[in-house]
Amino acid sequence: MVLAAMAFGLGACASDPVTTASLAQTYRDRHPIVVTEAAETLDLVPGGGPGGLTERQREDIRGFAKEWREQGRGLVRIEMPKGGATDTAAAHTVRGIRTELTAGGIPSRAMTTSTYPASHPAQLAPVRLSFPKLAADVASVCGQWPEDIGNSLTSRQGRNNGDYSNFGCAYQKNMAAMIADPEDIIRPRAETPASGARRATIMDKYIKGEATGAQPPIGSEDTSISEVGQ
């Protein structure tokens, strides 16, 4: 009798295991924006002007050099076509390209030259410039539909009133494409220092008991509310 009572008492102390459901993932969890490596490229058809380059091509090369100074993470690769209709002109154009790149701030030691096979002997194959850089992208592949979301009875997302798998992927993809410097994802930039001159001006006004705010623009006091509809 005593043993039975003790067993009953111990059983009363035991609690049922609590079953908890996993938190519903958001689109940021399913399709995170990550930092990857990409290539900045520029194709130039050779033989188009003095030095083998047109004025537009020279401007493009200067812009390419600027991108390398700001985002480059390796050598600039210059690839000449081989077996196409521009083989002879390409060699002349590459000399002009290297000159423009050097003028744009890229040292010669940061350039490497190689060849690639043209797809056809009659092709006006371009000279290809490229360098590695960081890029922001989505870790997952958009456009995946693992479940039929049209039937709410058979779809897990429909039964749970949750997001479907592909939801938010395109949004994240577009957000990643708008990130100018992917390194901002890894760490934030340092704050710019405060203006010492402005701080001194504010403190001087504060000591004198004057308003510390900036004055309104000249002419702003002449503005009036439109009387349309009155």
User: Which of left, alpha, beta for 103 (phi over 0: left; psi -120 to 50: alpha)?
Assistant: alpha
- Global model pTM greater than 0.85: no
- Residue 160: the pLDDT is 66
Residue 38: enclosing H or E segment and its boundaries?
strand 33-44
Show the tokens assigned to 196: 């010492």
The better pLDDT of the pair 137, 25 is held by 137
Domains along the chain with CATH numbers: 25-187 (3.30.1330.60)
Q: What stretches of the chain show up as alpha helix (H) in DSSP?
A: 2-13, 27-30, 55-71, 87-103, 156-160, 169-177, 183-186, 196-208
Mean pLDDT over residues 93-106, rounded? 95
Instruction: Please give the pLDDT value at position 153.
Output: 60
Closest CA to 106 of 129, 128, 89, 126: 129
Would you call 172 exposed, middle or buried from its count of C-beta atoms within 10 A (0-12, 13-18, 19+)?
buried
What mean pLDDT is reported for the chain?
83
Q: pLDDT grade, residue 216 (50/70/90)?
A: confident
| Residue 20 pLDDT grade (very low, low, confident, very high; cuts 50, 70, 90) | very low
- Side chain identity, residue 194: A
CA distance linking residue 182 with residue 73, whole number of Å:
13
Looking at residue 18, what is its pLDDT? 46
Lowest mean pLDDT, pick from 2-16, 75-89, 187-201, 208-222: 2-16
pLDDT over 60 at 179, yes or no = yes
What pLDDT, on a 0 to 100 scale, did the predictor assign at position 122? Answer: 87
Reported as a pLDDT band with limits 50, 70 and 90, residue 60 is very high
Per cent of the chain over pLDDT 90 is 46
Mean pLDDT of 70-94: 93
Angle at 112 between CA 106 and CA 114, to 5 degrees: 145
What is the pLDDT confidence band of residue 222, given thresholds at 50, 70 and 90? low
Mean predicted confidence (pLDDT) in 18-25: 49
pLDDT confidence of residue 100: 96
Mean pLDDT value across residues 68-87 = 94
Q: For position 22, what pLDDT does the model report?
A: 47
pLDDT at 3 over 60: no
Which residues, 6+ apart, have CB-to-CB distance to 119 below 8 Å?
84, 125
Using 50, 70 and 90 to split pLDDT, how confident is the model at 128? Answer: very high
Closest of 79, 80, 91 to residue 47, by C-alpha: 91
The pLDDT, as a whole number, for residue 193 is: 87
